[in-house]
């Protein structure tokens, strides 16, 4: 099972990871605000992640890591 880790200190909530996720398990966390004032991304279903790396490759801030 893969695990998506989002570094909320680097994430600026651009939503590119949300757009490219083929399983639709990435979302912006509107309940949390980072220290920089953004809504960071989060994985809403870790078990559904297929480790395609689309989110990590698309992230312009290199804020996403995938552990296999």
pLDDT digits (tens, 9 = 90+) for 1-47: 899 999 999 999 999 999 999 999 999 999 999 999 999 999 999 99
pLDDT at position 48 is 97
Residue 1's pLDDT is: 82
CA distances from 31 to 15, 38, 42, 45, 65 (A): 15, 11, 11, 17, 22
pLDDT at 40: 98
Which fold would CATH assign to domain 3-67? Alpha-Beta Plaits (3.30.70)
């Amino acid at each position: 099972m893969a695990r998506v880790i989002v570094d909320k200190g680097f994430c600026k909530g651009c939503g590119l990871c949300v757009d490219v996720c083929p399983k639709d398990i990435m979302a912006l966390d509107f309940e949390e605000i980072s220290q920089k004032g953004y809504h960071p991304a989060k994985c809403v279903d870790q078990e559904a992640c297929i480790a395609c790396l689309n989110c990590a490759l698309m992230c312009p801030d290199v804020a996403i890591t995938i552990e296999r």
